[in-house]
Structure 1
């Protein structure tokens, strides 16, 4: 995954909204749903599970769709050539790649790891790390990224970890604001590889 690749940033992405209000989502997030233009959506639930070999196409189609959308929006972030099983499996296992399903259809994706020596070298085996969080564009605005994060929080507690951590682009304030609304606290900001302004976020396991 790109968190281990020197050439490209591992910034997390949430492709949530189609309303164009900002980088992530123009809605007000709530537990179990969201409000868009004053109208509360029906609560939606994802079935989240790690992928099997036969589901790589679903996983990477979500990431590639997100990458293309970012390019079109002039916010290129992920190198499409790195969004392959061969590249991803250099730094994580199949069991660390997750898909969120709605009605048996792949709707969201993320990587959840127990180590990140490039971006979090001082971690003492006390954390889980979110990478490559993305949602299909047709599911934008449904709160699926929120559900994926909530599931990761629960998993952090189940594994008796102290922190759930992630990094993202520090020069995209709406992206940072999204994670802060999910309860994350910015603990550091620095330039990675001399190129990428990076914000580091964590939340303590309850």
Structure 2
């Protein structure tokens, strides 16, 4: 369970992807910093030096998964030029636990690769990583709940993502945090990719 550290600190802030300032009714989940399991959690848009930290985390994770014979990512994609070209200048986000970077992700507002032609107000969640030093501490769920609340603040209808459903830990994580399977696509390597989305409640609040 969360306890507020800075109540309402994120309200009235600019949308990190569009630069539009928004003001919305109070939603308890939306704060800049939170205490989780006696730890101070801070998730925010990464600055240039923090983007370098994210690149390092992605590369370490890629190497680790290859080492345990469970590869997922091609390391060549982890440069700013490659990521910006693939995702159209995404928002880079980083999370800290007690002042130490523990993970991050990308957000984009349109995804023509796997969700072509979709015009709903949505964030598409990509390149989710938790540093292996922080594995098994519940921080994956913290990030997902933060993204859901961020979608509320910025007037989104959905949070959407894609993943390999054969990776049981991802399946359990996403479905356990309210995402629902909407379909399956095939990537350029012939691998089946599951599409899933989290529907934000019509009231503009997170479901209980």
- What range describes the TM-score normalised by the shorter chain of this pair? 0.7 to 0.9
Tell me how far apart the structure 2 counterparts of residues 69 and 46 of structure 1 sit (CA, whole Å): 25
Query: Are 1:59 and 1:109, in contact at CA under 8 Å, matched by a contact in 2?
Result: yes
Counterpart CA distance in 1 for 2:196 and 2:179 is 6
- Corresponding residue number in structure 1 for 2:182: 187
Alignment pair present for 1:161 and 2:156: yes
Aligned residue pairs, count: 168
Q: Distance in 2 between matches of 1:168 and 1:44?
A: 29
Among 85, 89, 92, which residue is 1:93 paired with? 89
| Cα distance change of structure 1 residues 106 and 203 upon mapping to structure 2, 3 Å threshold | same
Equivalent in the alignment of 2:147? 152
TM-score by length of 1: 0.75
Gaps of 5+ in 2: 3-35, 202-208
The more displaced of 174-183 and 131-140 is: 174-183
**Which residue number in structure 2 is paired with residue 135 of structure 1?**
130
In 2: Cα distance, 1:203 partner to 1:113 partner: 15
For structure 1, the 5+ residue unaligned runs are 1-30, 33-40
Larger RCO: Structure 1 or Structure 2 (Cα < 8 Å, ≥ 6 residues apart)?
1
- Aligned partner of 1:178 among 153, 173, 178: 173
**Could you list the per-position Cα deviations for residues 42-78 of structure 1 after superposition, in whole angstroms to 9, with x for gaps in the alignment?**
3434211111112222111111111111101211111
